């Protein structure tokens, strides 16, 4: 029994989650709020590091394995003072599926599906498979939130 459990851990390590999130923001409502943002984000379970470039309007998060950090959480942290989160570059692992003709991505342990848009001629992965994605979210609100895959 223990051997099967160990094999399952080896076969399915940290199946899915966000690895990094890089968000562009603008319209800083409160300079001191933006400067304190990295420390506030580091308090979220699963955030390993935060880099802020306030002049360029970018914040980059590196996330721990098996994290449950949601993009919506990060967006809401940024927008607490009136600053607007505009777009994000994301990297992660998750389950890719098809529903109603659309490709969807769901990070493990999260209930949110993100629509995938393939911009290259690369073949999408097999439906219901775990895969790595790297792409851009042109908007962070509305339904569905889409990830453009380069």
Ordered domains of the chain (ranges, CATH): 14-149 (3.30.70.100)
Minimal CA–CA distance to 105: which of 84, 138, 129, 136? Answer: 129
Residue with the bigger pLDDT between 81 and 85: it is 85
Q: What is the pLDDT of residues 19-78, one digit of tens each?
A: 999 999 999 878 888 889 999 999 999 999 999 999 999 999 999 988 889 999 999 999
Whether the model clears a pTM of 0.85, i.e. scores above it, the answer is: no
φ/ψ (deg, to 5) at 135: -165, -165
Q: Is the pLDDT of residue 122 over 70?
A: no
């Amino acid at each position: 029994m223990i051997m099967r459990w160990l094999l399952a851990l080896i076969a399915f390590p940290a199946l899915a989650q966000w690895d990094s999130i890089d968000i562009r923001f603008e319209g800083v409502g409160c300079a001191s709020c933006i400067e304190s943002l990295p420390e506030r984000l580091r308090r979220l379970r699963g955030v390993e590091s935060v880099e802020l470039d306030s002049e360029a309007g970018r914040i980059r998060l590196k996330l721990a394995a098996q994290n449950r950090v949601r993009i919506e959480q990060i967006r809401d942290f940024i927008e607490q003072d009136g600053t607007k989160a505009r777009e994000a570059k994301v990297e992660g692992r998750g389950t890719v599926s098809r529903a109603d003709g659309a490709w969807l991505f769901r990070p493990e342990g999260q209930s949110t599906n993100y629509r995938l848009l393939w911009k290259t001629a690369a073949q999408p992965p097999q439906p219901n498979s775990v895969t790595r994605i790297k792409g851009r979210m042109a908007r962070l609100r509305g339904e569905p939130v889409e990830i453009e895959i380069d």
